[in-house]
Amino acid sequence: MKRIGLLTSGGDAPGMNAAIRAVVRTAIYFGMEVFGIERGYAGLIDGKMTQMEMRSVSDIVQRGGTMLRTARCSEMQTLEGQKKAADVLAAQGIEGLVVIGGDGSFRGAKDLTENFGIPTVGIPGTIDNDLQYTDYTLGFDTAVNTCLEAINKLRDTMNSHERISVVEVMGRHCGDIALYAGITSGAEIIVVPEIKYDMDDIVKRIDRSRASGKHSNIIVVAEGVMSADDFAKELQAVTTHSVRSTNIGHIQRGGSPSMADRMLAAQFGNKAVRLLKDGKGNRVVGIRKNSIIDMDIFEAVSMKKQFNYELYETLQMISM
């Protein structure tokens, strides 16, 4: 394979730039040409791309966001849209495509392979950690660290005023950001889409913690359940403690990627290009038990995400 394309798609995630750098430099190392496609599948259909060189990706390893920008593109979900994308790739002589994005982006990649025979490799780039086949997605670690910084600050002020802080975090339908941020921030309670919450039980846990000498409480609510505002209203109706709500919001999606995310980016990007070089397409890369793996893209997107109940129980036991 002599020429490949590269795009970022769906929601952006810290570490996407580091992955772009790894893809571009690995490809150049193997003597391949790389075309950076702007704005995900929308840019691909419009033919918006430029050849990337070694120096095109200088000074981006530490930056959040994606230098290629990203977009959602409904046209890609139609066969006509996919055909346009395939035609653009053929016209440019691009023989393989690396797609950095979440499960939706992977479906687009799978369609390009299945319907038009274009070898594609997916790199899991999403803060949500909502893909079952990989232990971690790119951006998750940084997003959780951003949540921790915010929760640390909230704890200071909640302690002073003896309040309950309801903190909303992202993750769409997946509770992993809430779970990991909850455990590692010392939050007393997490509310996730995977487990139905019981307000009576939550009030009991808060009262128990206050009786044992705690001055404040942190409740992390995943966006897939409800907003922090709504949850705080519901809670305030049944407790005498003062409740405040905070939505951490889009700052979770930005910022300089953590070491863990940069390391994933380097390994995922390198592996993706090696697969294409070896003539393998229709694959995704991931990490399992600390090893970089690849698997069939169709199998990967059809796996249902499993919630880690053991970690949830750990939180219940140690956050009192």
CB 190, CB 225: distance < 8 Å: no
Chosen residue from 102, 193, 224, 255 binding ligand ATP by CB under 6 A: 102
Say how far apart CA 191 and CA 121 lie, in whole Å.
34
Rounded to an integer, what distance in angstroms lies between the CA atom of residue 285 and that of residue 272?
7
Among 33, 38, 95, 111, the residue binding ligand ATP under the rule CB under 6 A is 111
Number of residues that bind ligand ATP (CB under 6 A): 18
Query: What is the phi-psi region of residue 225: left when phi exceeds 0, alpha when psi lies from -120 to 50, beta otherwise?
Result: alpha
Q: Which stretch binds ligand ATP (CB under 6 A): 8-16, 216-224, 269-277, 309-317?
A: 8-16
By the rule CB under 6 A, 33 interacts with ligand ATP: no
* Cα 304 to Cα 98: distance, rounded to the nearest angstrom: 23
Nearer to ligand ATP, 75 or 313 (CB): 75
Do residues 227 and 169 make contact, with C-beta atoms less than 8 angstroms apart?
no
CB of 176 to ligand ATP, least distance (A): 12
Length of the chain: 320
Q: Identify residues 35-64 at the interface with ligand ATP (CB under 6 A).
A: 41
Cβ proximity to ligand ATP, 98 vs 202, nearer residue:
98
Q: Is 261 a catalytic residue?
A: no
Residue 126 binding ligand ATP, by CB under 6 A:
yes
Shorter beta-carbon distance to ligand ATP: residue 9 or 319:
9
- Cβ contact 184:142 at 8 Å: no
The answer to whether residue 101 forms part of the interface with ligand ATP (CB under 6 A) is yes
Contacts of 129 (CB under 8 A, 6+ apart): 136, 137, 140, 171, 174, 176, 177, 180
- From the list 128, 130, 141, 176, the catalytic residue is 128
Does 76 contact ligand ATP by CB under 6 A? yes
Q: Is the distance from CB of 130 to CB of 137 less than 8 angstroms? A: yes
Minimum CB distance to ligand ATP smaller for 14 or for 36 = 14
CB-nearer residue toward ligand ATP: 36 or 124: 124
Minimum distance of ligand ATP from residue 160's CB (angstroms): 36
Asked if residue 176 binds ligand ATP (CB under 6 A), the reply is no
Strands (E), the chain: 3-8, 33-37, 49-52, 96-101, 120-124, 163-169, 189-191, 217-222, 242-247, 283-288, 291-296
Residues that bind ligand ATP (CB under 6 A): 9-11, 41, 72-73, 76-77, 101-105, 107-108, 111, 126, 128
Q: Provide the annotated active-site residues.
A: 128
